[in-house]
A and B are shown apart, each in its own frame.
Chain A
């Protein structure tokens, strides 16, 4: 009896033998027109016995729903298409600007997709970026995955994976953001941060601003910051440990940032105690100024990627999102910075 059930039930699960399916690690979404979508998949082609040489085959189709497009793409393939390995999804900037709700729904609804998928916005079209030959060694999807992983999750730039993006999107009092990818001079690079209002891409930050934004998002122990001195000299300070705390008092938010730093580059600048003190002061002023400007930018666009609203919600009884958003652009957000230069290197 048990054996019978075993035999009869075996057809109930779909078998997908790993090398007999087509996987894709990266997918790109572009907007063609209001209801037309273009999906680009980079499908890795493996070679027997040579795990180090993986080439990509690009498949691209337009249609109304991405599931429908996947179906038409599958008609060109010799093996069934399996979406389970998708790790990076990139959106063309036009697509991002017109909203990502529909695409997110596909990713979130299907249990095949990992919640740790990296999302990114492409300067230009995703299809064009994917068709460039930017990765000499790795498979394109793998390369993009590692690029985003080392720069955003493990690096000094802000970025969100699918789960975090959705959390910020659905959560009250916060907005989401994604890294911006750009193809330039044969290389792909993270060039900034795309800020979202709801699911729409509304503003962009450059690389420096992105770094400063991550300082306010979480405690960090890496990243380099340039200090401009009065005499026009630039110094580089490495962050060896920074912590950030928000305080809410009388409907005004104070952000306390304290950072321990090491001087990494100071050619032509004496590192005596006195000079260090003035450097510290200069660096502190610069940070306060830049961070305040950054927050002003957020307020101007009425977006809240830092999640200040969410923080206020956790400290306020009967918090109301509408009220908050009405106040937010005018709100007084103070940035208080403590800088401690711990060492100036092993050279006098």
Chain B
């Protein structure tokens, strides 16, 4: 009969800590585990069953024979404690100083489901989930090659999050991998609950509103990035991964473009880029033109604008700010509420408030159209973090437009472009291949080229192997009698 060792004392405060004594005639075992993360089926049917059935075995023999794949023999208290915290069962014997550690961990999480943020019509409906092992499984399944490397690190003093870096050994530039490994290793923050936290910490410029890593929940997009030479970072507990290095252009690329015929895909991509520009500039141009450049409006358009503005008591900038804030309010309210109420909010806010605001002459219906259109246009951005950036970016443009008119808009774009020029993503220029100009890298930017033109990886990734396939050998669509 032995008592519980002193070392378990700190666990006894937690109610999910279980210790039980199992006696087999003369052998007495102490079995400890945290029941919240331990699979009781494994424990009952495999461990306890085996111990009671194999009466009389020596402690070391017991360890050898236990039918559990992940087992360890340890006497180091720290190791034991860490294993116990991730779902191991500790088995001790009075006669031995060592402890058997058996993996009986169970992780509860949701099953693989449809992508919610990067929804698509065609293509797979498979998105990452919170469990890292499931996510790795999803990626491995799509890339069954040995050169897919997965490096695991542990980050966060409190959360002890498992962070994984995936890359293709024979493609990805070593430098990007090393940069990621080093930056993640240097993270000091105590709880890493999501990949976005890692993203913000390891980004080249943490003070920029532009994301410098591409967050995605689509496994096919991750695999596409990996095969191009990007590095993918995942963290346990987050249903998103980040890809890097990226360029600005990637944020306006939806993976669905690759599922569509290349002409349609390219046109949709161009529409998306135009709508982003529209979203940033529309309300700023409205302010500038109405405040400074009235003579730039064509004659036939003039009555429409003036008639809708004439009873509005505010200058255009106040009017625009009110409307933009109202839209942000709607968006924020819609995002925070359950989806069913969110719809109601959309209707009440959008239709009722909009009409009422025009009738009460708080805003012109012309502006209402512009603001609604530009809000819609900002939603076309396929990457959520970038659409946040764009909705914030509008405000400095509006203020500059108020101060200096179109010149102000130009000034603000100069500032934004200068900032973009200085940005890097894991050391790669953010505006590549447009600046520095890489003509071959331009292949897959504004235009989504046909697959016959995608025989090389973009040069700016500096991949170890730039060739995707040998386009000279490819001769599809041969005639059958050739």
Contact = CB atoms under 8 A, between A and B. Distances in A.
A52 interface: yes
A21 B291 contact: no
A1 interface: no
Interface in A1-45: 6, 9-10, 13-19, 21, 23, 25, 44
B258 to A, nearest CB: 43
B159 to A, nearest CB: 39
Interface stretch (B308-316, B339-347, B378-386, B459-467): B308-316
Interface residues of A, number: 32
Contact of B310 (A14, A46, A85): A46
Nearest to A54: B303
A85 B294 CA distance: 8
Most buried by B among A9, A13, A44, A139: A13
A2 to B, nearest CB: 9
Contact of B316 (A17, A52, A114): A17
B299 A87 contact: yes
B405 A13 contact: yes
Given A47-B310, A48-B310, A51-B308, A21 B294 contact: yes
Most buried by B among A23, A44, A141: A23
A139 B309 CA distance: 18
Contacts of B290: 17-18
A9 B304 CA distance: 32
Contacts of B302: 23, 85
Contacts of B393: none
Interface in A68-104: 82, 84-85, 87
Interface in B144-197: none
Interface in B278-313: 289-292, 294-295, 297, 299-300, 302-312
A112 B302 CA distance: 17
Given A10-B403, A85-B302, A16 B291 contact: yes
Contacts of A6: 403
A142 interface: yes
Given A13-B404, A23-B294, A18 B305 contact: yes
Contact of A47 (B307, B315, B316): B307
B361 interface: yes
Given A13-B404, A139-B303, A145-B299, A49 B308 contact: yes
Nearest to A15: B291
Interface in A277-331: none
B357 to A, nearest CB: 14
Given A17-B315, A46-B310, A48-B311, A85 B295 contact: yes
A50 interface: yes
B300 A50 contact: no
Contacts of A114: 295
Contacts of B407: 13
A16 B308 contact: no
Contacts of B297: 18, 85
A14 B299 CA distance: 22
Contacts of B291: 15-18
A27 to B, nearest CB: 14
A18 B309 contact: yes
Interface string A50-61: 111010000000
Given A17-B290, A48-B310, A48-B311, A112 B295 contact: yes
Nearest to A138: B303
Contacts of A141: 299
B307 A18 contact: no
Contacts of B315: 15, 17
A142 B299 contact: yes
Contacts of A19: 306, 309-310, 312
Interface in A155-211: none
A9 B403 contact: yes
B306 A18 contact: yes
A114 B311 CA distance: 29
Contacts of A25: 299
Interface in B306-354: 306-312, 315-316
Most buried by A among B300, B307, B312, B361: B307
A215 to B, nearest CB: 30
Contacts of A18: 289-291, 294, 297, 305-306, 309, 316
B307 A49 contact: yes
Given A10-B403, A19-B309, A46-B310, A51 B292 contact: no
Nearest to A82: B294
A180 to B, nearest CB: 22
A17 B293 CA distance: 8
Contacts of A84: 294-295
B172 to A, nearest CB: 40
A178 to B, nearest CB: 20
A6 to B, nearest CB: 6
A112 B296 CA distance: 10
A227 to B, nearest CB: 38
Most buried by A among B292, B302, B305, B407: B302
Most buried by B among A15, A44, A141, A142: A15
Nearest to B361: A48
A48 B303 CA distance: 10
A333 B64 CA distance: 119
Contacts of A47: 307, 310
Q: Which 10 residue pairs are nearest across A and B when measured between Cβ atoms?
A: A84-B295, A51-B303, A51-B307, A18-B294, A48-B311, A46-B306, A51-B304, A19-B309, A48-B310, A18-B290
Given A18-B289, A23-B302, 13 more contacts: A9-B404, A10-B404, A15-B315, A18-B291, A18-B309, A18-B316, A23-B294, A47-B310, A51-B303, A51-B304, A85-B299, A112-B295, A114-B295
9 contacts: A10-B404, A13-B404, A16-B291, A16-B294, A17-B316, A49-B307, A82-B295, A85-B295, A142-B300
